[in-house]
Structure 1
Amino acid sequence: MANLKEVRNRIVSVSSTQQITKAMKMVSAAKLRRAQDNILRMRPYAQRLSGILANLSTLTEGAAVANEYSVKRDVNRVLIIAVTSDRGLAGAFNSNIVKASIALATTKYSSQLASGNVTFLTIGRKGNEALAKKGYKVISNYTNTFHNLSFDTVREAAERAMNGFVAGEFDQVDLIYNEFKNVATQIVRTEQFLPIVEKPLEENKSAAIIPDYSFEPSKEEIIQELIPKSLKIQVYKAVLESNASEHGARMTAMDKATENAGELLKELKLTYNRTRQAAITKEILEIVGGAEALAAG
């Protein structure tokens, strides 16, 4: 049985850890509220912009197909954008993205991976560290993105992928991130980023009635301006989703850690009391034994 000093030291250590996890939970809860507000405001805008582009693509009768971001080529070189976080202590938040990225590379792009033509672009330090450690090729890593999260801080990563696609450096670009559902649930999403996935004409016609837009200066020029912006918004939305998911995952993980620390403290205090009681009983027995020995002598 452990001595009293060892048990006391463990109680102090676990109590300190519990205070830290409780504080981290409160910080994540505060950050989550802001991150959740940001993504809830972004979703309608991103969806509306995507809908406008789909309608414009239909109205231009295939003009969007000629856009440089819509060019379809044989998929020989692949880029996977993995959005993780810069910090850990968020449960399986980061490991889920790393696993999904590796699974995508080893299944869907197994032949390209064998030829060394699958590369990664990571947003977040944890994804970069994990993929590089496993021997995968990371061409660009954007850290500290979440320290001052804004459209400008994300745009550089989006432009790196877009310029690489236009230059023929990549034939396809996929995006993997955690979508925020609620505090306890984050859904790993894999989306084709480039080339642009166009909705079939029949799908657009069978949907709601397409608005009658007025164009200035022209439909084609507007699409040429909107498509790059829409692609950057797509990456920005994924990062906002990941940011909210990160704080939700960390809040849940720290809540569970605080709860586990409380259970461990109960066990340690029970062990301490039992050890202390055993020590007192032993001392009493020694005193009684000594007294009887003196009386007998």
Structure 2
Amino acid sequence: MPSLKEVKGRITSVISTQQITKAMKMVAAAKLRKSQDRITQIRPFAQKLASILSNLSAAQSNSDGENWYSQQREVRNVLIVAISSDRGLCGSFNSNIFKGVARLVEEKYKNEYAKGHVTILPIGRKANEYFAKRKVAVVSDYATLFSNLTFDSASAAAEFMMNAFQQGKYDKIEIVYNEFKNVATQILRAEQFLPVVPPATSQNTSTQVDYIYQPSQEEIIDGLIPKSLKVQLFKSLLDSSASENGARMTAMDKATENAGELLKQLRLTYNRTRQAAITKEILEIVGGAEALKSA
């Protein structure tokens, strides 16, 4: 049985840990409100813009004009954008991203990976640290993007990916991130960034949109598609940010509950140890008194 001093030290340590987890939960909750508002505001806009983007891309592909954004090439080199967090203590948030990237490579790009033609672009320090230790090419120029997450910083990353695709450095670009659903639920997503995926063909002709272009179809394509791709990447980053805060809030809440349960057990152990010590002292006193009587 541990001594009273040891049990008391453990109780003090758990109380200190519980205070830290409570504080981290409150900080994550405050950040979650802000990040949740941002993703809620941009998501309808991004979804509508993505629909317009795919329709415009398909219309351009069917015309005589050239649209490199939706150009389908033989897949030889692949870029996977892995969006993680900068810090830990957020449950399985980051490990899900790593597993998602591994699953994507195993299912779709196993041959390219074997040839060394798969490159990872990590966004978030945890992804950068993880993939830097693996046998894979890493582009770490945007690993610290979450330290100052703005539309301009996201646009710079999107421009890098668009230029690399246009120059033929990569034949396909995919993004792996956690989509925010609610505080307790994050959905792992793997979405194709480039080439732009045309809308799925459907027998329902009412879903087909015929656009009137002004000033011209080419100018609209050249102007709107890059902006739409930047918005799509920015939405993925905001989704990941909100998911991270939700995951951290849930993890810290669970840690606080676990600390409370541990405190109950430690206090019970402390009381039992204390009672055992008191009983032992009483027995020693009684034994000493009996020895004096018999002397």
Secondary structure of 1:203's aligned partner: coil
In angstroms, what is the RMSD of aligned CA positions? 1.8
Q: Give SS of 2:139's match.
A: strand
Q: TM-score, normalised by structure 1?
A: 0.94
Tell me the residue number matched to 1:172: 172
Q: Alpha carbons of 1:211 and 1:148: their partners in 2 closer, same or farther (altered >3 Å)?
A: same
Cα offset, 1:186, TM superposition: 0.2
* Closer/same/farther in 2, CA of residues 141 and 263 from structure 1, 3 Å limit: farther
Structure 2 match to 1:98: 98
Mean CA deviation greater in 45-54 or 136-145: 136-145
1:270-290 deviation per Cα after TM superposition (whole angstroms, max 9, x unaligned)? 000000000010011011101
- 2:197 equivalent in structure 1: 197
Q: Distance in 2 between matches of 1:174 and 1:54?
A: 16
The TM-score with structure 2 as length reference comes to 0.95
State the 1:60 CA deviation.
Answer: 5.0
CA distance in 2: counterparts of 1:7 and 1:180, whole angstroms: 41
Identify unmatched segments of 5+ residues in structure 2: none
Q: 1:115–1:156: structure 2 CA closer, same or farther, 3 Å change rule?
A: same
Q: Give the Cα–Cα distance (whole angstroms) in 2 for the partners of residues 196 and 14 of structure 1.
A: 52
Match of 2:128 in 1: 128
Distance 1:4 1:141, change over 3 A: farther
Structure 2 distance, partners of 1:60, 1:191, is: 22
In the alignment, structure 1 residue 49 sits paired with structure 2 residue 60? no
Map of 1:226 onto structure 2: 224
In 2, Cα distance between the equivalents of 1:204 and 1:123? 39
Gaps (5+ residues) in structure 1? Answer: none
> Could you tell me the percent identity over the aligned residues?
59
Q: What residue number does 1:251 align with? A: 249
> How big is the shift at 1:57?
4.2
Q: String of CA shifts for 1:21-70, please: whole Å, max 9, x gaps.
A: 00100111111011111001111111121222344345557249721221
2:214 is matched with 216
Q: For structure 1, which segment, 127-136 or 175-184, has the greater mean C-alpha deviation from structure 2 after superposition?
A: 127-136
The total of aligned residue pairs comes to: 295
Aligned mates of 1:58, 1:254 — CA distance in 2: 46
Structure 1 distance, partners of 2:204, 2:140, is: 40
Aligned residue in 2 for 1:288: 286
